[in-house]
A = this chain, B = another copy of it.
Amino acid sequence: MIKLELDRKKRSLFVKEPSDVSSLQNGFYGQMKRGIIHLTPEEALYVMDIRNGRCYDEAGNEHRFNEVASLFLRNRKLLARYLTYKDYRDKGLIPRPVAEAEGNYGRTVLKRYASSDFKLDSFSFDGLFFPNDLLTLVDDETVGKELYERYWIGQFGTYKAAHRGRLSKYDIYETIFLLKHGSLHLKNVKLADVEKAAHKRIKFFSDMYLVYEDWRRRGYVIKTGFKFGTHFRIYFPGASPVRSEEEWMHSKHVIHVFPRKNKLIISEWARAIRVAHSVKKTFILAIPGKKSPIKVNLKKPRLDFLLYHRKSGGIETPKDGSPKYLMYSLTEDEYIGGEGLAEALAECKHFGLEMLMAISDRESSVTYYVIKEIELPGSEYEYYEIEWVQP
């Protein structure tokens, strides 16, 4: 039994008994001040829940778990923090208060992506735009075939059977891209009409198109990600639909666009990552629009815990190691916004740590994702690889 003491007025929790103090010190709980260990709410609740802690106030009255928890009910996402703290602890790993982070730990791994110049030769051709279906059809066989084979723009003939039929189909992104850069003329509507139809149907269409154009202009092929449950899939520069035997014909990366102004419930957000994972694709999160300047308010951190991880043959500790991640604690029924996520990621970058997103579901089972920054030369937007991990 560990004896916790509660100062109800100050809402502070601490441990004084020498044997308890040394036990908690060995486990890296709390902060030591003059022989007394002061605990955060998460730490105190964990000790009560799992380490057989019992809590007493000044008058010697015992306080059960919920009585202690109710003192902190107004804390921002108390249970999200507690349950993710607990899960990380349960794995034998050490989470510490985020306020302890200082300097730059140099743990960030920047993923460098290839980039090449993209030049579209000038064509001049006619198409018919179908506003109800957001597709353009072109019945010019020569141009359609060349655009398809040289640039993999559009779908010539039949999907996975290009020899079948001579029509080309262009999706809404390709249509706008060709109107802007490739001399496509539409017989029935103008660029503004196409954009209007797109905006009417697709939420945050501008953001979607910015991402499409950004990757195209770096030499990537970018097509629908429908089959993989995401907005786009990409192929690295040099990919072509006519060299189907080559290994790089298979897309290995999918892109999900997360507009700064969008807010998504975590369960929907995680669903997109899950599909990508289940089909063994690398999930890329795109936050279009100019990168926000790093605004790190160390007094009001967005992130929740400073995490020590493993090293060969053991674990890292505050005593003889350095932290690896910052934890972003969430529950499945919470919302996350593009702007907020970008700011949290800037916080991680400031400390040279990667973000470990920890999502506690309704059953208190925790799922983890690591978020790594991508460097796409020439791009002004933010891209991140998100990977499901078991820490």
Contacts and interface: CB of A to CB of B under 8 A. Distances in A.
B223 A135 contact: no
A227 B335 CA distance: 17
B227 A362 contact: no
A143 interface: no
A189 B239 CA distance: 59
Interface in A345-361: 359, 361
A285 to B, nearest CB: 15
11 contacts: A50-B164, A66-B128, A78-B132, A79-B133, A169-B364, A171-B363, A172-B333, A173-B362, A201-B265, A226-B359, A227-B361
A229 B274 contact: yes
Interface string A144-181: 00000000000100111100111101011100000000
Interface stretch (A7-15, A68-76, A92-100, A306-314): A68-76
A133 B42 CA distance: 15
Contact of A139 (B65, B73, B134): B65
Contact of A70 (B49, B128, B364): B128
Q: How large is the interface on A (under 10, 10 to 19, 20 to 34, 35 or more residues)?
A: 35 or more
A332 interface: yes
A275 interface: yes
A326 to B, nearest CB: 20
A167 B173 CA distance: 52
Interface string A119-152: 0000000111011111101110000000000000
A2 interface: no
Contact of A77 (B80, B132, B202, B229): B132
A368 to B, nearest CB: 13
Interface of chain A, helix or strand or loop or mixed? mixed
A272 interface: yes
A79 B130 contact: yes
Contact of A167 (B65, B270, B335, B359): B65
Nearest to A74: B132
A367 B79 contact: no
Contacts of A164: 50, 90
A166 B83 CA distance: 14
Contacts of A78: 130, 132-133
Contact of A363 (B83, B188, B224, B335): B224
B364 A73 contact: no
Given A171-B363, A229-B270, A187 B137 contact: no
A289 to B, nearest CB: 22
A250 interface: no
Interface string A177-212: 000000000011000000000000111000000000
A333 B231 CA distance: 11
Given A133-B333, A201-B334, 14 more contacts: A49-B167, A64-B139, A65-B167, A66-B127, A70-B128, A80-B133, A90-B158, A90-B164, A155-B363, A169-B364, A226-B270, A226-B361, A227-B274, A231-B267
A311 B337 CA distance: 51
Contacts of A223: 362-363
- For A69, A133, A139, the residue with the greatest tally of chain B CB atoms inside 10 Å of its CB is A133
A331 interface: yes
A166 B93 CA distance: 21
Listed from nearest, the 3 A-B pairs whose CB atoms lie closest are: A171-B362, A278-B278, A79-B133
